[in-house]
Amino acid sequence: MFWVLGMGLGSFYRYRSELAPAYWWLGALLTGAWLHASHPGWWPVPVVAAGVALGVLAWRPGWLMRRWPLLARWRVRLWAAGFAPAVAATVALAAVYGPSAGDLPTYSALAGLVFAVPWWWREDRRRLTRVRLIRERFADTAEQAGLGGARMVSAQIGKWGWSGRVKMRRGQHYADAVSAVPALESALGSRVGSVRVEQVADDAAEFLLRLVETDPHAAPIPWEPRTATAKASITDPVTVGIFEDGAPVTVSFLRRHVLIGGATDSGKSGLLNVILARIAECGDTAVWGIDLKKGMELAPWSNVLQRLATDNESAEALLQAGVDELEKRAEFLTMRGRREWYPKFDEPQLFIMIDEYAELSRKGQKLADSIARRGRAVAVCLLIATQRPTQKAMGEGSALRGQMNVRFCLRVNEAPDVDLILGAGKLRAGWDTTGFDGPGKFLVSAAGMETPRRGRAYLITDADVTETAITHSRHDSVTMRQAAEIITGGADSGFDGRSGGPEAIGTPPGVSGPEMALWSALRDAPPEGVPVGSLQAATGRGRRWVYKRLETGRADGTVTSPSYGRWRATMTRQQPAPAELDTGPVDQEGAPPAEPTQDPAGDHGL
């Protein structure tokens, strides 16, 4: 008896979604009955509630769309706009006349049926029912695939397919599931290449089975700009594409060096542009570019780039400025007793972007190597794209690859190139991009991304780039005129942008912010000090702002006033070590480098 009752209640709960129309109908009549018995005068409450529901549906606030994404479809909204008044009318009429008055039960049941049909027939319900059946019959599927005893403990549908968590019999291992993938595809009756298995948790006898029904990578994925209202910061991860299961490829670039590698036409420049667009959306970043194709590639970004180098001579100057910047920041952090740079709007993270790294001169590569070793903690980061990062291409003696924290590997022509780009042993561990079809597809290795999941970058068109660059243009960028002159070799082609100092008065000075400009001016001051007016000019800030910091500095002993109205730092300028003297682990020609075991910047006591 109790068993039958339990089964009945269990089914009511289990099939709650299918039975939902009956529950609404009963719920509306019962609520009406309760109102009729105790508060018949409250009948306007459901009417007002329906009005509010219609208003919210018309307004479509963000939280609603996130909670019920299906409401993005007009058909679903239309259904909801009919359903809410129908329920409200049933409750209100039952409250006034009683739930069994006249034909109310019949008409309300008919209305319930009308709204139940689209509910039962909606697409995700059909998919859900199908996946539920798959889950229930999974024991047979597992048996056919040679994984006898395995059961699917949960399953859910996603945009592109479904996934289920599988527990195997003790004695079976995740590796058995990996080798059973073709058999699983056959047992599930799915297409070749549609089944993925991923390790979940530490339990070796568990895995996530993912079936991709609609390949999200089948067609290029259009660029999705950030909404104008959403504030972006480099301290948050950004989305550069979509994994093949439809999940976003979300990567943190905070204090990270980035390497993009792949064969020609694999989509390196496309991915570089997507990352650049995401970085441009972040207000707390500054971007310098090196484009040795005479500036043609980066010209559309001239509104965003603060510096642009188009030949090896200006590239060396730019990279030297990068080294100077990181040394200034390191000294500043040391003075403040801090170890890491936290990017802010006027103290941004600096990205130095280098397309076709192999084209850089030997001196330029040495400077880039120095930035790779020491720039991370002070948020001076490299963003490099190259075809084959062999030791020769990266520069003899370079340890640059080993310092790259985020690595994207697009299609490569030869399998060993995977290890060159992603690091030693990756190919053996299943990271293989040789068979990738279509540009923009990649594997990404970064913190928290330890399994090979195929991603595809958004396709950003020239029009998208122009729009992003205009929307997020920086007031101290290379101007269009200068960009044009660079490309045509005009009069100002020696222009190398701004790096702070008096010429930047009225704009945020350089890429380190007014705090550091103040510190530089105080540190470079003569023994008799400098007047406050000069400090205002160097920082672009007002008298009060400068005085406040001078007083704080005097209190903590870092600033002194040698004579009335004049100021200087108590610390003397440190002589930066020439970048060329940097030494570090050297990897073998063509062989993947050892991964860094600690923060490279830590060596410099920042």
Ligand X SMILES: Nc1ncnc2c1ncn2[C@@H]1O[C@H](COP(=O)(O)OP(=O)(O)OP(=O)(O)O)[C@@H](O)[C@H]1O
The 580-599 contact track toward ligand X, x by CB under 6 A, reads --------------------
- Reading phi first (left if > 0) and then psi (alpha if -120 to 50, else beta), residue 599 is in beta
Q: Tokens 């290029």, residue?
A: 220
Closest CA to 146 of 170, 181, 194: 181
> Minimum distance between the CB of residue 366 and ligand X, rounded to whole angstroms?
24
Which of 35, 457, 483, 535 contacts ligand X by CB under 6 A? 457
Per-residue CA distances from 194 to 39, 179, 184, 189, 450 (Å):
58, 14, 10, 10, 21
To 10 degrees, the CA torsion angle through 123, 127, 129, 130?
A: 140
Q: Which residues, numbered 342-371, are part of the site for ligand X (CB under 6 A)? A: none
Q: Which window, 262-270, 301-309, 333-341, 488-496, contacts ligand X (CB under 6 A)?
A: 262-270
> Minimum distance between the CB of residue 119 and ligand X, rounded to whole angstroms?
38
Q: Rounded CA gap, 484 and 482, in Å?
A: 5
Write out the H or E segment, with its range, that includes residue 567.
Answer: strand 566-569
Which of 261, 440, 508, 540 contacts ligand X by CB under 6 A? 440
Angle at CA 176, nearest 5°, toward 173 and 182? 150
Residue 210 as a binder of ligand X (CB under 6 A): the answer is no
Nearer to ligand X, 220 or 246 (CB): 220
Q: Which residues, numbered 464-523, are part of the site for ligand X (CB under 6 A)? A: none
Q: Which window, 79-87, 451-459, 463-471, 544-552, contacts ligand X (CB under 6 A)?
A: 451-459
Q: Which residues, numbered 212-231, are part of the site for ligand X (CB under 6 A)? A: 220
The annotation places the binding site at 262-269
Closest CA to 277 of 442, 473, 511, 477: 473
Q: Which window, 280-288, 325-333, 420-428, 452-460, contacts ligand X (CB under 6 A)?
A: 452-460
Residues 234 and 406 sit within 8 Å (Cβ to Cβ): no
Residues 29 and 108 sit within 8 Å (Cβ to Cβ): yes
The annotation places the binding site for ATP at 262-269
Closest CA to 109 of 186, 183, 174, 22: 22
Which of 90, 266, 314, 499 contacts ligand X by CB under 6 A? 266
Residue 459 as a binder of ligand X (CB under 6 A): the answer is yes
Nearer to ligand X, 441 or 568 (CB): 441
Residue 267 as a binder of ligand X (CB under 6 A): the answer is yes
Residue 268 as a binder of ligand X (CB under 6 A): the answer is yes
Residue 388 as a binder of ligand X (CB under 6 A): the answer is no
Which of 265, 450, 580, 603 contacts ligand X by CB under 6 A? 265
Helix axis angle, 462-471 relative to 268-281, nearest 10°? 20
End-to-end CA distance of the chain: 73
Q: Rounded CA gap, 119 and 418, in Å?
A: 48
Helix axis angle, 532-539 relative to 514-523, nearest 10°? 140
Looking at beta carbons, which residue is closest to ligand X? 440
> Minimum distance between the CB of residue 220 and ligand X, rounded to whole angstroms?
4
Residue 108 as a binder of ligand X (CB under 6 A): the answer is no
Nearer to ligand X, 266 or 365 (CB): 266
Residue 437 as a binder of ligand X (CB under 6 A): the answer is no
Cβ contacts of 568 within 8 Å, gap of 6 or more: 522, 523, 525, 526, 527, 528, 529, 530, 559, 560, 562
Residue 264 as a binder of ligand X (CB under 6 A): the answer is yes
Residue 433 as a binder of ligand X (CB under 6 A): the answer is no
> Minimum distance between the CB of residue 422 and ligand X, rounded to whole angstroms?
16
Nearer to ligand X, 87 or 360 (CB): 360
Give the residues lining the site for ligand X (CB under 6 A). Answer: 220, 262, 264-270, 387, 439-440, 456-457, 459
